[in-house]
């Protein structure tokens, strides 16, 4: 009987919780509130278990919490539940970069980009390009030249995408080109003045 009461109380408390969104989780992550971001993402995943992007952001949060095994699990579940989504392949590549397994990471990055590869060798999905480029430059081991080429491709697809501009700025910082980094950040700020 006690078990049923606890279950009922838990159910009631869940019903009273405000619905959380991916945007709220990303905002919490922007402010380094990783525990809050994780909790929100777990709620989002409970509502949308087949959306790979949710698992990608959960994996990134676990990475920020220094829990690489949990990040790996999140990415793998994301791949299983949404195998045609680039996000978790990019995340797996990022984990491999952390382990200095660059050639294995490149396989994951190639897989992530394969869903939007055009006949001329360029890519059309700016989100996928951003995810891959971010993971190419996030660890001690970096694929800066590859990330730069990828973000140039992304800028050709969408010159006014906030995430593309920020990631391009990050890539330029990695190659010590502060002027171009600042230009991209300023263009991003113009697009989203309230974004932290």
Q: Is the dihedral of CA 179, 180, 185, 188 positive or negative?
A: positive
> Domain extents for the chain?
19-83, 102-196
Lowest mean pLDDT: which of 1-10, 65-74, 113-122? 1-10
CATH assignment of 102-196? 1.25.40.10
Give DSSP secondary structure letters for 46-109.
HH-TT-HHHHHHHHHHHHHTT-HHHHHHHHHHHHHH-TT-HHHHHHHHHHHHHTT-HHHHHHHH
Does the structural domain 19-83 have CATH classification 1.25.40.10?
Answer: yes
CA-to-CA distance for 70 and 99, rounded, in angstroms?
15
pLDDT in tens, 14-62: 444 456 899 999 999 988 999 999 999 999 999 999 999 999 999 999 9
174, pLDDT greater than 50: yes
């Amino acid at each position: 009987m006690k078990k049923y009461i606890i279950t009922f109380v838990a159910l009631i408390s869940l019903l009273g919780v405000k619905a959380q969104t991916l945007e709220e989780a990303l905002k919490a992550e922007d402010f380094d509130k990783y525990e809050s971001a994780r909790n929100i993402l777990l709620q989002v995943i409970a509502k949308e278990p087949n959306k790979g992007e949710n698992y990608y952001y959960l994996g990134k949060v676990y990475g920020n919490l220094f829990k690489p095994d949990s990040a790996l699990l999140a990415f793998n579940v994301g791949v299983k539940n949404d195998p045609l989504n680039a996000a978790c392949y990019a995340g797996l590549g990022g984990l491999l970069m952390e382990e200095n397994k660059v050639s294995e990471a490149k396989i994951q990055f190639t897989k992530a980009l394969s869903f939007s590869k055009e006949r001329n060798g360029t890519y059309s999905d700016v989100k996928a390009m951003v995810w891959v480029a971010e993971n190419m430059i996030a660890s001690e081991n970096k694929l800066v030249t590859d990330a730069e080429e990828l973000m140039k491709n992304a800028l050709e697809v969408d010159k006014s995408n906030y995430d593309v501009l920020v990631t391009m700025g990050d890539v330029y910082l990695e190659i010590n080109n502060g002027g171009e980094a600042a230009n991209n950040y300023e263009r991003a700020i113009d697009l989203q003045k309230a974004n932290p």
